[in-house]
Structure 1
Amino acid sequence: MELFDFHIMPYQWVTDDAWPFPNDRWDPQKGSQLYDDYLDELEYSANNGFDGIGFNEHHFSAYGLMPSPNIMAANMAARTEDVTLAFFANVSPTRANPVRLAEEIAMLDNMTEGRILSGFARGIPSEYASWSIPMEESRPRFEEAWDLIVKTWTADEPFDWDGEFWQYDNVYTWPRPYQDPHPDLWMPAESDESLKWAAEHDVGIGSTFNTPEEMREAFDKYRDFAADAGNSAGDDKFTIMRSTYVAETDEKAKEEAEEALKYHYKNITAGVHKGVTAWMMGDDLYDPEREAEYLENLHPHGQLAWNFDFDEYLERGEIVVGSPETVAAEIERQYEIVGGFGRLAGQFTFGNLSHEKAVKNRELFVDEVMPELQRMGQVTGGTAQAAGADD
């Protein structure tokens, strides 16, 4: 399988805030150092055996410091030579100009000689609240943006576009993508409608905030939809994402990771859910005095995050924490339960985990876990990286 380092780049110093996180909490000295540390962590992974490094998009949020994942990818393009640069993902439906997004990705694909894996996502409700876009438009916007971007990459001459949400005269990309006809595509998918759409378009999918059993149910639906459409559904079509921490023993791993995971889920993950719930309940901004009402109405994933319990998350398989032997065995167990996957995207930095522990985590994973995983399932298909040696 392919092994990716997926970095959300969290801010590490919020307490009782909620989305949109107040920008007076931002400390530029601390924030600048975080970017340095996070990019160094990704560079370490790129130079030590990972197949890819991943970026994603979030706005006004301590959860992730990447409102523009393309800027991060450009930085890492200059630091790396062989590793796949993967978007998990650009939120295309909320972009004012999807053609500009297509151009930027085409540029990156050429700058890296075809090392781009391009993911697009519908995004979470906060993305729509940010830009005053009705949530009910998310799916048609996603599908139109997808079709527009693909056509922009592949058209032989300028074309006009008269869609429901975007209209253009005489557009296409110059430069064209390096990969022919374009970078491999990927999307997160959980609902039946998204699974069916992805399978019919022969696009790989991924999952994160679910148990292996829930992933198996979704992946099996994808397999059925793909068979109906006459498309393949091998391991290379499936990515799972897991917060992962390795230490010398199970006990030490829990001791080192638990508080950072608690911050990740209770402070910043639940913080996003609380703010989104306030918005969906009609409040322009999160009101601390109404927190009890928001908590009662949280999405189940938000409820789970707010009430974070290390052992519960470990049992669910959402986090993979332990000795090298435990981590490798747990990933193999999940591989068997879901019926195979072609890519593991690990979050090796989460919450307020220190840079030193984040690097040590990667070192132990590379030295002692990676060799065990590389014998699992030879994947065919996938990124340009795989052709030389595949979420």
Structure 2
Amino acid sequence: MLKATDFYDQAYFYEIETTLAHLEKLISLGDIFIMEPTGNYSKLWLNTLLDAGKEVRFISNRDLASYRKLCQWDYKDDAHDAVALAYCGWLHIDNPSAFLSLKTPEINATYQLFLEHERLNRELKPLVNRARNKLHTEFPEAKSSSSGGNERVDGIWLFISNSPQHLGWQKVWLRKIKKSIGTVQTQGFSPQLVKLSQQIVRVKQRRIEIRQAFQEFLTNPKYRFYNEAFDQFDLGVYDRIIILCQVHPFEQFLDSDGKELRKIKPRKFGPSGKPITKRVGLNRFHACLGKAIKPWESGKKKGHIVTGSVLARIQLYLWARRTMAMTPPKNPKPRVKELYSRYLNDIQAKLTDDGKIDPNYPGNNSLKQWGKARVGDKLVKLLFKELLIAYRKSKQ
């Protein structure tokens, strides 16, 4: 067997540049290409190879580092990375699960929009905080005005930034300015506040555009059975988008007969004496939504770690935070009602003997947060079941 070091010494490395001749050379080199996801740079090569009908497989950055150590290389350059990629690809060429799943162009574009939306959220909060601090001295009568939500831009920022606004609202703000005790009545709005307002309007308008794009995306008939399952849990637009981006295509969790992918463990037997069946499909589904639990041991210490998509895990918790409120949801779907009952039962089982916490109305404490995280875990199990039912109906 050829060692990795010997292969490195004997192999010829092609240096591909971003020119038409080099891209054509790249396409002619083979049928399966192993790549490392490197952001926008890798998209150029990915799109070129996919358009040419080639098969592309991604290896995660962490796995690549492990294979580089396996080759006993403690230094890093493009040539050694290429050999490590080839080595990993060769070992797992018949095991597709060892590679990162590739998203369709539509799903990938939507996922990139979701990442942009998350970035805009992080950008918006400090802008609003700084602008409202300015309003305390310049226009205190407007410092508690509505934030506008997800559907529109708050009128105060439109007014300060001199953006198009309904004439009636402009008159309202002008009347308030005449009676204001702030500096706006004599000095007008400061350039800093005007600039902050313009940035807030830009960010919020972009967020509205992204939300509308998400709503239009979800109306595609291709994702009808996904939406049928999502409806059972009253999932919001952003919940649906991140889940859909993570679990599409749903066929990856199923076998050739459209049933849940399972694998028999021949060396492990249950109480009945039959071999234990590993639920591969459900486990992969958990991993895609950030709920994969893996054992962790070090000496006498034992525990587990949660891996998978952090964005999906956060979104599931946010859904639970909205739905599992201090009072039962209004007109809940049966699945939501079931999850709420489990939420209360989990909290009640964790209650201390002193009875300081009412299980029917738990307060804002760590126990309540733990219960919502548990709801997210159970939501994943029930969602997989609903998606499986909806998928089978769509194939009838």
Q: Normalized against structure 1, the TM-score is what?
A: 0.27
Q: Which protein is richer in helix relative to its size? A: 2
Q: Which protein is richer in strand relative to its size? A: 1
Q: Normalized against structure 2, the TM-score is what?
A: 0.26
The structure that has the greater radius of gyration is: 2
